[in-house]
Every structure is written in C-alpha cells, then in structure tokens.
Amino acid sequence: MRRYGKHTDEDDIRVRPSRRGTRPRTHTRPKHEDAAEGLVLTVDRGRLTVLVEDRTVTAMKARELGRKGVVVGDRVAVVGDLTGARDTLARIVRVEERTSVLRRTADDNDPYERIIVANADQLAIVTALADPEPRPRMIDRCLVAAFDAGLEPLLVLTKSDLAPAAPLLDVYAPLGLRYVVTSREELAAGPGTDAVRELMRGQVTVCVGHSGVGKTTLVNALVPERQRAVGIVNAVTGRGRHTTTSALALPLPPSASGANGWVIDTPGVRSFGLNHVQPARVIQAFPDLAEGAEGCPRGCGHNEPDCALDQWVAEGHADPARLQSLRRLLETRESREED
Ligand SMILES: Nc1nc2c(ncn2[C@@H]2O[C@H](COP(=O)(O)OP(=O)(O)OP(=O)(O)O)[C@@H](O)[C@H]2O)c(=O)[nH]1
Ligand SMILES: [Zn+2]
C-alpha cells in the first residue's frame, strides 16, 4: 500500500558517486520546504480551519492530496497565504502520519464509517446519571471504539445532583476505568472543573455524548474560550453558529505546569463505527485475558464453546468479571446504535 502523510527528505535526495567525494548531493529541494505546520481545528464543506502558530487560517486541500481526507486533529503542512486575514485561503499540501483514528458510525445519510478525528489520546464518554437515563449499551459501544482506536477511555458522569453514581460505576468496576463524577454546580464552582481538566492535561481528548447529557455545559466550563473559538469558526464559515456536525478542537487553558491539551467536541456525533473492529484489538485492552487468548482457536470471537478463556479464568488466571465484561463489549459490535 502506498503510504501517504509522510514526507521524507530522502524522496528528494539522489545520491550518486561524485569525483570530489561521497557526500550526497541534493538535486531537487524537498517539495514545499517552506510549508508551515498546522493543526486542523474543524472542517466545514471542504473548508478547513487550521491553527498555524497563533493564527486561525482557512485552508483547502491541495489537489495533490487526491482523495485523502483531512480531519480534525490532523497535523498538516500548509502553504500560501497564512496571515489568517479575511478572504484568504491557504492550501494543505501534506498530512502527517496519524497516531490514532476515530471513526464515526455509518448512518442513514452516509453508509460509510468515516474517520472524524485523528491523533486523539483519550475518549471522554459523557453520560448523565439521570435525565436522560444512562445507556450502558451506548457506553459499551464507545468503550469498544476507544479500545479499538487505542484511546484511553474516561467516563464523565454528569448531573450527580439527580442520581447516585454507584450503580453505574459498579457495572464498570471490572474494567478499571478512569472516571469523574460531576454536576453543573460543581463545574460552575471551579474546583470541579479543575478536577476534570487535570484528567485532560497534555492530552487530546475527544468528548462524546448523547443530546441532553450536559456535554455543552461541561465543554463550556472546561474551555472558557469556547465562545470565542466558535465565533472565529463562524466568521470563517459565515454562519450564525457552529452548526456543522464536524468535530471542533478547543484549547484547554494553560496550567501552572505549562501542559494544556485539547478538547474535541463532537456535535451531532452520537456513536462510533464498530464494523471494522477486530476482537484481537479489543482484547489488547485486557492484558490479563490477552495472554489466555493465545490458547484460542484461530479467529476466535471469544464467546464460542472452544474459547480458551473459560479455562483460563477457571484456572484462576483472571477475574471472571473481566471475561464477562470483555464478552459484553465484543457483543456490542453486533448491536445497533439505538439499542
Ligand atoms: N440537574 C442538572 N441539570 C444539568 C446539569 N448539567 C446540565 N444540565 C441541564 O441539562 C440540559 C442539557 O444540558 P447541555 O449542556 O445543553 O447538554 P448537551 O449534552 O450539550 O445537549 P445538547 O445541547 O442537546 O447536545 C440543560 O437544560 C442543562 O441546564 C447538571 O449537572 N444537573
Ligand atoms: Zn477465545
């Protein structure tokens, strides 16, 4: 497969023996060596908002990128007018290799699972403890997507004034997830917000949650700059508010330690695509079980009669509750998003 997104200078350097010595000679300069580095903040109908140093630049994909998609979180090389001034348009000429990709689920409007965020470290699954009721199937789907993409899950339980967190936390206890319990009042008070920010320091965190769970309340508390950031995007797109379903990357305020990080809001993204998920990848998030799965038949889905994990657990190598949780997660691949 052709690799894209990686541009090495070797491509442009030809080495040949020289009478004067054996030093490689550069015949052609690297393409776009004057390009600036940028971070894609949001995408709207082919227009990308890219952060270049401290400026927000509008850009388009250069023709030479072909069909390759450019998504929020991508590290890119941009050329052209980088002033960020009104009505200027820069060009994205290169997409750097991605450390992770997150796909949104296929839906009625689009039969394909598409990559929506690149280079994230963490997936914050925002769930209200009540109003609306927690939906464990939905949480499970998000967990599978996170494990598959190699992202660290973080459970953010909101509206703690309405219901206790313990029953839900009990369900997830075998997974040993990181979690935080919060409410609008706690977020408004400050220390509650700091506690959540602390779990996001220096990381790129994607936030996902169903409508009404309090995701906007959370993101607004985490990123006081949000309104301004949305304003900049609106100035670029000429719309009244951020109405696209594109993700939007927002900077966390800097902390005393200097590390800040990014929060990526995902309006309109309700779940993540799981059609491509391989059990072998999900089980990597369960090191205690992964070892036992080495005794499984090839291509084992881990819920068949000859799965070696039953024996592994019976022999006391791992907690039966862990195996139960793994099997429940693997089953979500067959469930529908609405379940
Ligand atoms: N009781 C209670 N209500 C909350 C809390 N956080 C948010 N809400 C309310 O829940 C409703 C939804 O909050 P939002 O922050 O808009 O939720 P959202 O997930 O962004 O929802 P959408 O905007 O529909 O996507 C609003 O009426 C909030 O005032 C909380 O901690 N406790
Ligand atoms: Zn198995």
Please list the residues that pair with 125 across neighbouring strands: 155, 208
User: Tens digits of per-residue pLDDT, 263-286?
Assistant: 999 987 777 878 888 888 899 899
Kindly identify the ligand whose nearest atom is closest to the C-alpha of 312: 2
Please state the residue numbers annotated as binding site.
158-161, 209-217, 296, 300, 302, 307
Does the pLDDT value for residue 17 go beyond 50?
no
Pocket of ligand 1 contains residue 184 by CB under 6 Å: yes
3-state SS, residue 251: strand
pLDDT at 277: 85
Q: Does one domain contain both 236 and 125? A: yes
User: Tens digits of per-residue pLDDT, 149-203?
Assistant: 989 999 999 999 999 999 999 999 999 999 999 999 999 998 889 999 999 999 9
User: Tens digits of per-residue pLDDT, 300-316?
Assistant: 999 889 999 999 999 99
Q: Is residue 241 part of a domain?
A: yes
ipTM surpassing 0.90: yes
Q: Does one domain contain both 192 and 81? A: no
CA distances from 221 to 129, 150, 200, 244, 300 (A): 19, 27, 13, 21, 44
Does the pLDDT value for residue 243 go beyond 80?
no
Number of structural domains, the chain?
Answer: 3
pLDDT at 6: 35
Ligand 1 midpoint to CA 210 (Å): 10
Q: Is residue 220 part of a domain?
A: yes
* End-of-domain residue from the set 51, 67, 97: 97
What is the rounded average pLDDT of the residues 208-237? 79
Does the pLDDT value for residue 5 go beyond 50?
no
* Best probe residue, ligand 1, of 125, 211, 216, 243 (max atoms within 8 Å of C-beta): 216
CA distances from 58 to 38, 47, 201, 285, 333 (A): 11, 7, 27, 38, 38
Q: Does one domain contain both 78 and 191? A: no
Task: Please name which of 192, 220, 200 lies closest in space to residue 261, comparing C-alpha atoms.
Answer: 200
Does the pLDDT value for residue 1 go beyond 60?
no
Q: Does one domain contain both 175 and 298? A: no
Looking at residue 220, which CATH number applies to its domain?
3.40.50.300
User: Tens digits of per-residue pLDDT, 60-118?
Assistant: 999 989 888 999 999 999 999 999 998 899 999 999 999 999 988 777 777 788 899 99
CA distance 144 to 287: 15
Average pLDDT, the chain: 85
Range of the domain at 69: 35-97
Helix 226-237 / helix 215-222 crossing angle, nearest 10 deg: 100
Does the pLDDT value for residue 245 go beyond 70?
no
Ligand 2 midpoint to CA 149 (Å): 21
Copy the structure tokens of residue 310.
């039953």
